[in-house]
């Protein structure tokens, strides 16, 4: 009976040692998880801030698109006035559009030699 008791004590002490090591690792893991939770929280804040900036960027993009569309309307109206005047004066005449500068501003070359830029 004594052998059984000694054997049990030996295993018990081994278990206690392993359990203590496990407790240390568990505590270290808990600290790392807490640090990870802080980083998650910070990431969530940054994500929310990023979403706000993204939404603001979208608003500005939409506003810019509206202004560009309005500009396109005005440019089309100007083209209509210009081409109507040419048609009224010269009739059905050939017009060649050329891009002549780095700002992509066109020049119009009429079949009769007149150039508008």
- Contact call for residues 98 and 107 (beta carbons, < 8 A): yes
Q: Which of 117, 79, 75 is nearest to 98 (CA)?
A: 117
pTM above 0.75, yes or no: no
Q: Is residue 114 assigned to a domain?
A: no
Residue 109, in any domain of the structure: no
Mind listing the pLDDT tens digit for each residue in 15-30? 999 999 999 999 999 9
Q: Is residue 112 part of a domain?
A: no
**Is residue 102 one of the residues assigned to a domain?**
no
Q: What is the spatial distance between Cα 115 and Cα 86, in angstroms, rounded to a whole number? A: 12
pLDDT digits (tens, 9 = 90+) for 1-15: 456 666 678 888 899
Domain boundaries, position 69 = 2-90
Q: Which two tokens stand for residue 117?
A: 């830029």
Residue 103, in any domain of the structure: no
111, part of any domain: no
Q: Is residue 105 part of a domain?
A: no
Look at the chain and report how many structural domains it folds into.
Answer: 1
The pLDDT tens digits of the residues spanning 51-95 come to 999 999 999 999 999 999 999 999 999 989 999 999 999 999 998
């Amino acid at each position: 009976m004594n052998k059984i008791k000694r054997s049990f004590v030996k295993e018990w002490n081994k278990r206690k040692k392993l359990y203590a090591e496990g407790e240390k690792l568990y505590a270290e893991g808990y600290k790392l998880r807490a640090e990870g939770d802080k980083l998650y929280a910070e990431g969530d804040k940054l994500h929310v801030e990023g979403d706000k900036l993204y939404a603001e960027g979208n608003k500005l993009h939409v506003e810019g698109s509206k202004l560009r569309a309005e500009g396109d309307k005005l440019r089309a109206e100007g083209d209509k006035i210009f081409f109507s005047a040419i048609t009224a004066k010269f009739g059905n005449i050939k017009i060649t559009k050329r891009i002549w500068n780095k700002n992509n501003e066109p020049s119009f070359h009429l079949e009769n030699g007149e150039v508008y830029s």
